[in-house]
Structure 1
Amino acid sequence: MESQSQLEGEPLIKPSTADHPLYDAVVEACRSVYDPEIPVNIYDLGLIYTIEINEQNEVDIIMTLTAPGCPVAGDMPGWIVEAIEPVAGIKMVNIELVWEPPWGMEMMSDEARLELGFM
């Protein structure tokens, strides 16, 4: 029972290490990757839940896809690794694909909503 009560206080989406000096460069790299079915980059779509960068400049990405049956489910993590690895200073990129919490339109940035005509 004790471990369950500890989990309740944890956010559904782990916070990113936005104060890391390489964070903005990693975000920009993520913005270069697009879902082939939607003309908006994966970052503004809200598919990247967490960008964690440790002191060794190893990047852990927690992400989701718009749907579990997404045709590029097997490819997209590799595209993200290919986009981030060339960023100067990055040592390693690890992608974790999760389905909880499920992606929803409310996770899109205002720019993405505008681009897709939802605003």
Structure 2
Amino acid sequence: MENENKEYTEQELEAIKENVLTALEQVIDPELGIDIVNLGLVYEVILDKSGFCKVNLTLTTMGCPLADVITDDIHRALKTVSEVKEIEVKLVWYPAWSTDRMSRYARIALGIR
């Protein structure tokens, strides 16, 4: 367990963040069938040198009944990134989500211009 107490450099953190985003692409919004990254629901990934990862995300609507499902899926997905030691998921509502945040892929998949 050599990585257990390791502190990562800024360059390593950027590479790990990419791995985190890749893992988050496996989290599918159950209603829309598109991953939360391409939907633009992930606002920020903060990763510190000790492996603590905070994901700030929003949902398409306030009071979404699937918030717990998506949060659990995020935890499950991030457990596949070995450098992530602790996970916090924070729901944020500002700025409000809109279809402008969606990737081209998500827009095409959902038929939005």
TM-score normalised to structure 1 length? 0.80
TM-superposed deviation, 1:69? 2.4
Counterpart of 1:62? 56
User: In the alignment, does 2:43 pair up with 1:49?
Assistant: yes
Give the gaps of 5 or more residues in structure 1: 1-18
CA-to-partner distance for each residue in 1:3-36, whole Å, 9 max, x for gaps?
xxxxxxxxxxxxxxxx622011100110000111
| Aligned residue number for residue 112 of structure 1 | 106
Look up the SS of the partner of 2:56 in the other structure. Answer: strand
Question: Counterpart of 2:78?
Answer: 84
Match of 1:101 in 2: 95
* C-alpha displacement of 1:78: 1.6
Distance of 2:109 and 2:80 partners within structure 1: 28
User: After superposition, what is the alpha-carbon deviation per residue over 1:74-110, rounded to whole angstroms, capped at 9, x for unaligned?
Assistant: 2211210111122121111111101111110000011
TM-score, L = length of structure 2: 0.84
Residue of structure 1 in register with 2:68 after alignment: 74
Q: CA RMSD in A?
A: 1.5
